[in-house]
Amino acid sequence: MLNRKQPPVIKDAVEFDLKLKPYEKHVLNNGVEVYAVDAGTEEVLQVEWVFYAGNWFEKKNLIAASANFLLKNGTSQKSAFQINEHFEFYGSYLNRHCYNETATLSLHCLSKHLEELLPVVKELIVDSVFPEEEINIYKQNMKQRLNVNLKKSDFVAGRLIDAYLFGEHHPYGRYSHFEDFDNVSREQIQEFYQQYYQNGKMILFVAGKLPSNTIELLNKYFGDLKNGQVELFDHQSQAAAEKKYRVTNDPNGVQGAIRMASPFPNRHHPDFMKVQVLNNVLGGFFGSRLMSNIREDKGYTYGIHSYLQNHIQQSAWMISTEAGRDVCEATIVEVYKEMEDLRNEPIDDEELLLVRNYMMGSILGDLDGPFHIISRWKNIILNGLDESFFYKQIQTIKTVSAEELQQLANKYLAPEHFYELVVV
């Protein structure tokens, strides 16, 4: 019998033996790969169609994002209203997103309605017509949104820092101007759609309580589509020569947006996993050094975070916050002090154990449910990695030493490596 007078034994998260539930891989008749995780207790599922159709492939700014957004806005058989009404009738949710290398369509629905919904998704992939009136509404809305966002220092800082890091003509650093929307034409969207959706490369990720005929249905509706090859042609980054920037966006603004960033290799670099641990010590969670100093002690900001950008080809180490206009420079000084401390002194055992437990706990949370599991697999697969990456990451979190982290701090956390930007 359970003794309720005795509390349960508390275990550190680093003691957990985490396992990543394996996927089942299927190949449709046309060679399209399907990665499936059949799990969960509720009769729901998620299907995600990933196309190599991000802004990496566009010849003119905004074509990739416009094509992806307008996929739902009309086919030769259905209007935008009819498409949305169909998915809403079945209590489902269809969304789309455009990233740097990839673009996606994602469907969340009840498992029992999958067969009613897949034909319409296929219709969007093979028969979107991009009505001129829908394009005009899209342009008008996006220009209004841009007009509002450009008044926000945080938005402006996010655009500029990427341009400084990679160059404004690089896909990672490119950002939109009002005239870019005016220059988007229906013909350009249709050409991009034909090349990268109708004839492009597609990968499917499926998760949830999967009906027994899920793969059969996917093969029925998508196994006859063209499955092209992807060629990630090279884009040379052109980082800015100057590294310190102060931009006035609102002369009467009381708050400034701060970005500090340094170029960093992608997930294939041998330092990447260890630097993830170092990043969490610096500013990766609420108990980090930057939060403890700049929020808790100095009171300069409500929150400050550091992270490695989630890019496939290249990455960057980014520190992001907003602070009072009068303390922006003091905030930057404190960030450099925290970097200096990490370079000069090894992290003590108690702090390192806290970070290890936080990171293991975060991964444990990411393995809760089929949607989270397939999301982790998608990240691994699209980055050209395999299952060993997950287990090496776990091992690194558990075993990386304070001395190794100090060496990495001296390698990467030198002030001269970082771009500084303050937008007020």
pLDDT band for position 393 (cuts 50, 70, 90): very high
The three-class DSSP label of residue 176 is coil
Cα–Cα distance measured from residue 351 to residue 381, given in angstroms and rounded to the nearest whole number: 33
Amino acid at 57: F
| Percent of the chain at pLDDT exceeding 70 | 100
Mean pLDDT, range 268-297, rounded to an integer: 97
pLDDT band for position 292 (cuts 50, 70, 90): very high
End-to-end CA distance of the chain: 63
257-276 in b/e form (b: 16+ CB < 10 A) is: bbbbbbbbebbeeeebbbbb
Domains of the chain are: 24-222 (3.30.830.10), 244-423 (3.30.830.10)
Q: Which region holds residue 339: left if phi is over 0, alpha if psi is between -120 and 50, else beta?
A: alpha
Token pair listed for 89: 């009738």
Cα–Cα distance measured from residue 369 to residue 376, given in angstroms and rounded to the nearest whole number: 11
pLDDT in tens, 102-114: 999 999 999 999 9
SS (H, E, C) 63-98: HHHHHHHHHHCEECCCEHHHHHHHHHHCCCEEEEEE
Mean pLDDT, range 268-285, rounded to an integer: 97
Neighbours of 29 (CB within 10 A): 12
**Checking DSSP bridges between strand 255-264 and strand 315-324, what pairing results, if any?**
antiparallel
Cα–Cα distance measured from residue 388 to residue 65, given in angstroms and rounded to the nearest whole number: 33
Mean pLDDT, range 303-319, rounded to an integer: 95
- Is 90 exceeded by the pLDDT of residue 5? no
Mean pLDDT, range 130-143, rounded to an integer: 97
CA distances from 20 to 23, 41, 361, 377 (A): 9, 18, 14, 9
For residue 7, what pLDDT is reported?
Answer: 83
pLDDT band for position 235 (cuts 50, 70, 90): confident
For residue 243, what pLDDT is reported?
Answer: 96
Phi, psi angles (nearest 5°) of residue 26:
-125, 155
Please give the model's pTM, rounded to 2 decimal places.
Answer: 0.92
Mean pLDDT, range 369-373, rounded to an integer: 96
Mean pLDDT, range 231-259, rounded to an integer: 91
Give the number of residues written for the chain: 424
Task: Outline where DSSP puts E strands in 40-169.
Answer: 44-51, 93-98, 103-110
Handedness of CA 137, 142, 143, 145 (dihedral sign): positive
pLDDT in tens, 163-219: 999 999 999 999 999 999 999 999 999 999 999 999 999 999 999 999 999 999 999
- Is 90 exceeded by the pLDDT of residue 410? yes
365-382 in b/e form (b: 16+ CB < 10 A) is: eeeebbbebbbbbbbbbb
Judge residue 414's burial from the number of C-beta atoms within 10 Å of its C-beta, 0-12 exposed, 13-18 middle, 19 or more buried. Answer: middle
CA distances from 118 to 70, 115, 238, 339 (A): 18, 6, 43, 51
Q: Give the residue from 259, 324, 250, 319 showing the smallest Cα distance to 291.
A: 319
pLDDT band for position 247 (cuts 50, 70, 90): very high
* Token pair 């293991």: residue: 360
pLDDT band for position 4 (cuts 50, 70, 90): confident
Cα–Cα distance measured from residue 230 to residue 199, given in angstroms and rounded to the nearest whole number: 10
- Is 90 exceeded by the pLDDT of residue 401? yes
Q: How many CA atoms lie within 13 A of 151 on its CB side?
A: 6
The three-class DSSP label of residue 108 is strand
